[in-house]
Amino acid sequence: MLDTQELVCCDLTYGPRRRIPNNTRKRGRWAERMNLSLRILVASTTASLLLGTVSGVAQDIEYGEYLSNQCTTCHQLSGKDNGIPPIVGWDAESFIAVLGSYKRKERENQAMQTIAASLGDEEIAALAAYFATLKPKE
């Protein structure tokens, strides 16, 4: 026979009192299985996200390298400043901020404003990731 507990029921259809089985032992095992399943799911999802992030950064760098030809037409990969400032070795945040200011026309340079306006946020982030990996050649 199942363990039962009394529950006061407010539903007048079933009467003022009825007996409801107490399945706490069954719920306990079910909760343990669900807890284990949930932990496995969270661990695998976290691992997938971390690996995807690493892979995504590598893809951004490759995409940035692909897009960089337009930049390296004027900006030297050697890191030398021949009237045009070098962009190799910049941290990604600074690169994104500067290109964003050209895009919003907060900085004066018609060529850079035009180039920045033609780039989307993803392309700017990819270029930033690529140029951040480069070291000036001296």
- pLDDT tens per residue, range 90-104: 999 999 999 999 999
What structural domains does the chain harbor?
4-133 (1.10.760.10)
pLDDT band with cut points at 50, 70 and 90 for residue 82: confident
- What are the DSSP E strand ranges found in the chain? 4-8, 17-21
- Please give the average per-residue pLDDT across 62-70, as a whole number: 92
At residue 44, does pLDDT exceed 80? no
Side-chain-side CA neighbours of 26 within 13 Å: the count stands at: 5
Residue 79's identity, in one-letter code, is G
Nearest by Cα to 131 from 55, 80, 79, 74: 79
pLDDT band with cut points at 50, 70 and 90 for residue 130: very high
Percent of the chain clearing pLDDT 70 (strictly above)? 57
Q: What is the pTM of this model?
A: 0.58
- 114 vs 16: CA distance, rounded Å: 78
Residue 23 in tokens: 């399945």
At residue 38, does pLDDT exceed 80? no
